């Protein structure tokens, strides 16, 4: 819940020139709903894709305050984030609700950035793998893996300044990849897994060196165009 329309315009004025020639990386930006239309226009001259931060699972109806999948595609979104830890924890979204959202998004042609991750209490209780397996199996029930990106975000590392060590990140990502293989078999080959949790220009290279980390779900560091651009161009 950051940035007005004017803020987004100012962001892109700086960000666009910084990433203009980046052709070998997929960049997706997820502004608030109020800025989606403006951002869709600003992104037209770039290779950057547009995402929404959330959506509802019904096509239309008496769901005051909610946003339908077709409303997102109509405005130019190609991606939607589903299952972010804040949606799970603050707004009480269950695995069942998240699964309905994932299926609805794919039915309307939206690619899904599907978020999973454990809390500090769950990690300290040794339940990390149990939580990840449950979230994957329940959240992706009756789903194909096309149009899917998985984002691992350890809740204890989001906005706290704490980052999973590279060993912790790799261990979780390796488990997620194995679980996706169990669910989808060979169809999961090439499915990308992102790391999210206090990603910065200073730690992105080490995280991306992990064999099973394919990208980043960037939070606070994406609010500043120069820091986000440094993350995009970490290997330059």
Q: Which residues are catalytic?
A: 84, 153
Look up residue 132 and give its two tokens. 């990840």
- Tokens 């997820």, located at residue: 30
Q: Is 163 left (phi over 0), alpha (psi -120 to 50) or beta?
A: beta
Beta-carbon contacts of residue 54 (< 8 Å; ≥ 6 apart): 67, 80, 81, 82, 84, 87, 101
Beta-carbon contacts of residue 105 (< 8 Å; ≥ 6 apart): 55, 69, 80, 82, 111, 112
Helical axes 128-139 vs 166-184, angle rounded to 10°: 40
CA–CA dist 228, 219 (Å, integer): 9
CA–CA dist 135, 115 (Å, integer): 9
- Of the CA atoms within 13 Å of residue 139, those in its CB half-sphere come to 30
Beta-carbon contacts of residue 182 (< 8 Å; ≥ 6 apart): none
Cβ 99 vs Cβ 83: under 8 Å: no
DSSP summary character for residue 230: H
């Amino acid at each position: 819940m950051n940035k007005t329309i004017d803020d987004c315009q100012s962001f892109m004025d700086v960000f666009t020139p910084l990433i203009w020639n980046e052709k070998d990386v997929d960049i997706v930006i997820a502004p608030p709903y109020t800025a989606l239309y403006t951002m869709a226009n600003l992104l037209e001259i770039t290779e950057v894709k547009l995402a929404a931060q959330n959506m509802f699972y019904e096509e239309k109806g008496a769901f005051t305050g909610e946003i339908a999948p077709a409303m997102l595609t109509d405005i130019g979104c190609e991606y939607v984030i589903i299952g972010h830890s804040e949606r799970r924890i603050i707004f009480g979204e269950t695995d069942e609700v998240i699964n309905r959202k994932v299926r609805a998004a794919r039915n309307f042609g939206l690619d899904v950035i599907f978020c999973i991750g454990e809390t500090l209490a769950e990690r300290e209780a040794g339940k990390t793998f149990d939580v990840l397996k449950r979230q994957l199996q329940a959240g992706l029930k009756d789903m194909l893996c096309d149009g899917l990106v998985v984002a691992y975000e350890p809740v204890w590392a989001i906005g706290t300044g704490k980052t999973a060590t590279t060993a912790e990140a790799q261990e979780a990502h390796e488990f997620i990849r194995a679980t996706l293989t169990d669910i989808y078999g060979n169809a999961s080959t090439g499915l990308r897994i992102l790391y999210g949790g206090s990603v910065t220009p200073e730690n992105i290279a080490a995280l991306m060196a992990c064999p099973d980390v394919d990208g980043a779900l960037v939070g606070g560091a994406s609010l500043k165009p120069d820091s986000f651009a440094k993350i995009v161009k970490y290997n330059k």
